[in-house]
Amino acid sequence: MGLTERLSTNTGVKDNQGTVSKMTRESKSATEIASLVNNSVRVVPGLESVAVEVARLSTPDADGCNWIAHYPILPLGCPPESERLLKDIVRNARRHFNLYETH
């Protein structure tokens, strides 16, 4: 396996007209993705103690991402905008990263 194959994953994504485009995601370990997400989440007010975990999906989803994020119920009194930011952070990470392929 070449270096570029280890660094990126090409996935086909269908648009609303059925056209498949290629999206390139950087391949990382679950620990690396969780660390990147958690470092971003911890600066959001009310989410300083929230820990996001990453789990592999058995098959990539419709967008071509091969992992899902799990996080606990947010603390009482957490600002609504903080939950929105958490979801935005996870959504952005899912667009840019995939887990390394295991063979």
- Domain map of the chain by residue range? 28-98
Summarize pLDDT for 35-47 with one digit per residue, the tens: 999 999 999 999 9
Task: Return the number of other C-beta atoms located less than 10 Å from residue 92's C-beta.
Answer: 13
**Contact at 8 Å (CB) between 43 and 35?**
no
Summarize pLDDT for 77-95 with one digit per residue, the tens: 899 999 999 999 999 999 9
Please indicate, yes or no, whether the overall pTM of this predicted structure exceeds 0.85. Answer: no
What confidence score (pLDDT) does residue 75 get? Answer: 87
**Contacts for 18-23: CB closer than 8 Å, 24+ residues apart:** 23/63, 23/64, 23/95
Summarize pLDDT for 51-74 with one digit per residue, the tens: 999 999 999 999 999 999 999 999
